[in-house]
Amino acid sequence: MRVLVIEDEAELRETVVETLREEGFATDYCGDGEEGLYKALHWDYDAILLDIMLPKINGWEVLKRIRDAQKETPVMMLTARDGIDDRIKGLNQGADDYLPKPFDLAEMIARTRAIARRSGGQRNPELRIGNVIVNTTSRQVTLNGQPIELTAREYALTELFVRKVDEVVTRDYIYEHLFDENEDSLSNILDVYIYKLRQKLGKQFIRTMRGHGYITRSQDQS
């Protein structure tokens, strides 16, 4: 999943971004509302973590403009303002969740995953394709009933292919949803992850569609 963090407090922003990346989220970030709004409107994110007290454009206005543009990206407000009126205002303006500071990082991760799942219409945490099962709550993958040890990025890539089963997934789509905007040598990095997943889940798990991208076929996973 790809997440945007809009937070002007540098130390907190760095902590949040580092934690999200450790959990396998591709994470973009910025420190003011103007840049945050631009990114939110021009790129597709699975979730946005948005502070209220921002320079240039405050969080309320950023949220309003996102919704006015018919963007339905899930938004969680991160703010020191924890009064009930502020929470009601945020939810009424289209926020999906509200997490007052200071907050527990594990709770932040859990809430981020939850709003992204709800947005995608997912209710059952298990995704199954043949002999491969992905549990999106525990973030565990099994093959023929046996747990497969995956890194955070390998898990994210596996979940993406399972969600897109029988669809061609382009390299650009993978870059946009699983990798950070500042990562170098994206092509080489992706090749390495594809190779590792084929080793762990079988060569048939990911098929190369030359000139188009990759596909996971349900008929190949029996």
Residue 89 CA, chain-centre distance (Å), reads 25
Same domain, residue pair 19 and 111: yes
Print the domain residue range for 97. 2-119
Same domain, residue pair 104 and 149: no
CA atoms of 194 and 192, how far apart (whole Å): 6
CA atoms of 47 and 200, how far apart (whole Å): 29
Strand 75-79 and strand 97-100: pairing? parallel
Same domain, residue pair 105 and 137: no
Same domain, residue pair 102 and 200: no
Q: Tens-digit pLDDT profile for the chain (222 aa)?
A: 789 999 999 999 999 999 998 888 888 999 999 999 999 999 888 899 999 999 999 999 999 999 999 999 999 998 876 667 777 887 888 899 999 889 999 999 999 998 987 766 455 678 888 899 998 878 899 999 999 999 988 998 998 899 889 999 999 888 877 776 555 556 688 899 999 999 999 999 999 999 889 999 987 665
Using alpha carbons, select from 142, 122, 106 the residue that is nearest to residue 46: 122
Q: In 3-state terms, what secondary structure has residue 122? A: coil
Using alpha carbons, select from 174, 159, 168, 166 the residue that is nearest to residue 127: 159
Which residue in the block uniquely carries the two structure tokens 């939850």? 114
CA atoms of 66 and 104, how far apart (whole Å): 27
Same domain, residue pair 86 and 195: no
Per the structure block, which two tokens stand in for 145? 């009933």
